[in-house]
Structure 1
Amino acid sequence: MNTQAEDRANHMKRLEGRSLIVGMWGNLFMGIAGVAAAILSNSDAILVDGLFSLIGFTAAILGRRVSQTAEAGPDRIRPAGYAADEAIFTTFRSLSLLGLVLFAITGAIMNIVSYASGGAPKPLVFGPLIIYFAVIGVTCFLLWGMHKWAWSRTGKKSDILRLEATAAAFDGVITAAAGIGMVGIVLLQDTALSFITPIGDSIIVLILCSTVVTRYFSDFMKGLGELAGVTADPEHIAKVRRTVRPALAEAKGVLTDLSVMKLGRTFVVTVYYNPGRPVTAAEVDTLTLRLEHDLAPVLSCDVFVLPSEYGRRWPDDLNPKLNPKGLPEN
């Protein structure tokens, strides 16, 4: 059984690694193509697209390394294990994307203000854009499909693959919407709205980035919450509570408190348990292992069983920080 579990874990890790490698080179190709097309066409929207892909290339390099160690257990260097690396990666990946989106929004607003003040933006050159939209749109779709497939095949546990799939989808949406917007600019040239065509590129950037800024901010805050130790979603807590009840009932103890925290693809479950009788270290270890086996089909988690009659927080009259002399009597 252990061999089968290890083989499955290694297979999942290989799937994730291959997906990230392909994504890495795909993003490098799209980044170089985007910057080159932006220079040739004078398009800020395409430049944002290219920079977005270059950030994806760097993120894929780091993400692959993190994915290889995310499920490694505790050791001398990392006594709490390596699960936090994934939360750190996704947090700063979201922050980098959020920063790029805000930078693009600021640049678009400045271009629009400059045009309103009498400035003349560089005219767009549409020739290189046609090839760019076709090639990059297909590439984004393939990367999204690959990341989504790998994420599903690996149990939908990898926040790295989930975020990369989202990033590829957004990159594709930007490319498609920018292409449609460029066509719209051409069609508006001989109409009453022709006055906006010189800043049509900036308007496209502003609209596209405004639609995703809240998503990336949400991802950033979610990752920040994991690093800060914020409690997991109520649905996860409910699953854990239902799952641990049979083992605790057999142990004839009382569940005094339960905490569940998400850290990357791993959950940290702390069971505060009052056995109501003297117990040995071996009994606590046996209960811990039982709970880990019971929870394995539900969550990828590390379980800690703490014999305690109080739970996660000392009562105020015993808390040394609030009442230094309030020690319990023997």
Structure 2
Amino acid sequence: MRKEQKALRISLFGVVFFVALALGFAVYTGSDAILFDGIYSLVSFATALLTIKVAKLAERPDDDNFHFGYTTLEPTLNLFKSLITIVVCVYAAVEALQRFLTGGTEAEYGWAVVYGLLATSGCFIVAMLLRKYGRDSRSDLVNVESKAWFVDALLSASVLLGFIFAWTISKSSYAHYAPYVDPLLLMIIVALALPIPGKIFLNSLREVIVMAPPPDVVDEIGERLIPTLAHVPHDLIEYRVNKRGRNTYLLVHVLVSDEFELHSIEKLDDIRRKSSAQMKEWNPEIVMDVLFVKDKTLIY
């Protein structure tokens, strides 16, 4: 949790810095592409504040209002953040298209190149830091923040390459084409950026509407789970998976065979305890309920 909070503070401070940097350069250079980069960072700043709040809530145990804990807020926040990003990107693309069709935008491309160098290197550094913290803390919130910074780094890199090109042609006989570079560049940036928040939106939507994780994730869980219950005489082991933020919930039904002998409830508790311990050793965020049944109709 400490690593998660530290990563989110890094993200917040980074956003504040890059918002100021982008808006300052946008005013000085007159570039819509840099302005969009700043607005994107500003949106990230607003959602970063929410992310820190939700991360603290997710640490709370369940209560009368949230019977399964507060981790269900995480996919809801990620869904909201990705949706806002998509809306901002689409709006920027429409604006860029209109400017392109009306003659383009004049900009100070030399200083824009300087901005591109600073922003690209800075965003990639923050994205890599958050990726490391996200991997260490196993936090979906930090992982989504890392992806958001990676998108921002791609935006800045695209801005940099475009401005180098625009600055080059502005010094040539094709200078009259230079104003078209800024809106064209912005449309290219949006096309590059949209798939990442789009994927986050779809993954978060799966969790919000309680869909199962992707088949490869479910299959891997099954490969880990079945051996932990293999010693129990059974005819079938049925499991259902639901990912809620950082937690992965398993509902496991063990259809015991005729050879299964129950001497005490403590024996069932021991089976559950050992199976859960082995699964948590693989993934500490696993939450399991194991039910033993003899009647198959109770499973389906």
What TM-score do you get using the length of structure 1 for normalisation? Answer: 0.80
Residue aligning to 1:25: 13
Tell me if structure 1 keeps the 8 A contact 2:119–2:156.
yes
Q: What is the rounded CA distance, in whole Å, between the counterparts of 1:89 and 1:282 in structure 2? A: 40
Q: CA RMSD for the aligned pairs?
A: 2.4
Amino-acid identity (%): 20
Give the counterpart of 1:63 among 43, 51, 56: 51
Unaligned runs of 5+ in 1: 1-12, 116-120, 314-330
Q: What is the rounded CA distance, in whole Å, between the counterparts of 2:214 and 2:121 in structure 1? A: 36
Indicate yes or no: 2:197 matched with 1:216. Answer: yes
- Superposition deviation, residue 175 in structure 1: 1.5
Indicate yes or no: 2:281 matched with 1:297. Answer: yes
Q: Deviations over 1:25-58 (max 9, x none)?
A: 1101211221222122111110111011112212
Tell me: CA distance 1:141–1:245, structure 2 relative to 1, closer, same or farther (3 Å).
closer
Partner amino acid, structure 1, of 2:214: D
Q: What is the rounded CA distance, in whole Å, between the counterparts of 1:59 and 1:289 in structure 2? A: 39
Give the counterpart of 1:203 among 166, 171, 184: 184
Tell me if structure 1 keeps the 8 A contact 2:226–2:237.
no
Q: 1:275-294 maps to which residues of 2 (within 5 A)? A: 275=256, 282-294=266-278
Give the counterpart of 1:165 among 126, 146, 149: 146
Residue aligning to 1:136: 119
Residue aligning to 2:238: 257
Indicate yes or no: 2:245 matched with 1:245. Answer: no
After superposing the two structures, state which structure 1 stretch, 217-226 or 175-184, moved more.
175-184
Q: What is the rounded CA distance, in whole Å, between the counterparts of 1:232 and 1:283 in structure 2? A: 31
Q: What is the rounded CA distance, in whole Å, between the counterparts of 1:312 and 1:208 in structure 2? A: 50
Q: What is the rounded CA distance, in whole Å, between the counterparts of 1:284 and 1:94 in structure 2? A: 43
Tell me if structure 1 keeps the 8 A contact 2:105–2:180.
no
Q: What is the rounded CA distance, in whole Å, between the counterparts of 1:122 and 1:232 in structure 2? A: 45
Q: What is the rounded CA distance, in whole Å, between the counterparts of 2:191 and 2:27 in structure 1? A: 24
Residue aligning to 2:132: 149
- Superposition deviation, residue 79 in structure 1: 0.5
Tell me if structure 1 keeps the 8 A contact 2:51–2:77.
yes
- Superposition deviation, residue 68 in structure 1: 2.8
Partner amino acid, structure 1, of 2:29: S
Tell me if structure 1 keeps the 8 A contact 2:252–2:289.
yes
- Superposition deviation, residue 305 in structure 1: 2.0
Tell me: CA distance 1:195–1:312, structure 2 relative to 1, closer, same or farther (3 Å).
farther
What TM-score do you get using the length of structure 2 for normalisation? Answer: 0.88
Q: What is the rounded CA distance, in whole Å, between the counterparts of 1:286 and 1:250 in structure 2? A: 12
Unaligned runs of 5+ in 2: none
Q: What is the rounded CA distance, in whole Å, between the counterparts of 1:57 and 1:292 in structure 2? A: 39
Tell me if structure 1 keeps the 8 A contact 2:105–2:182.
no
Partner amino acid, structure 2, of 1:236: V
Indicate yes or no: 2:165 matched with 1:181. Answer: no
After superposing the two structures, state which structure 1 stretch, 14-23 or 135-144, moved more.
135-144
Give the counterpart of 1:306 among 258, 270, 291: 291
- Superposition deviation, residue 311 in structure 1: 5.9
Partner amino acid, structure 1, of 2:209: A
Tell me: CA distance 1:191–1:289, structure 2 relative to 1, closer, same or farther (3 Å).
same
- Superposition deviation, residue 286 in structure 1: 3.6
SS of corresponding position for 1:94: helix
Tell me if structure 2 keeps the 8 A contact 1:248–1:255.
no
Tell me: CA distance 1:77–1:287, structure 2 relative to 1, closer, same or farther (3 Å).
farther
Partner amino acid, structure 2, of 1:150: Y
Partner amino acid, structure 1, of 2:67: P
Tell me if structure 1 keeps the 8 A contact 2:241–2:250.
yes
Tell me: CA distance 1:304–1:70, structure 2 relative to 1, closer, same or farther (3 Å).
same
Q: What is the rounded CA distance, in whole Å, between the counterparts of 1:239 and 1:186 in structure 2? A: 51
Indicate yes or no: 2:93 matched with 1:112. Answer: no
Q: What is the rounded CA distance, in whole Å, between the counterparts of 2:69 and 2:189 in structure 1? A: 39
Q: What is the rounded CA distance, in whole Å, between the counterparts of 2:70 and 2:247 in structure 1? A: 10
- Superposition deviation, residue 123 in structure 1: 1.9
Tell me: CA distance 1:194–1:15, structure 2 relative to 1, closer, same or farther (3 Å).
same
Give the counterpart of 1:236 among 188, 199, 217: 217
Tell me if structure 1 keeps the 8 A contact 2:106–2:178.
no
Aligned residues: 294
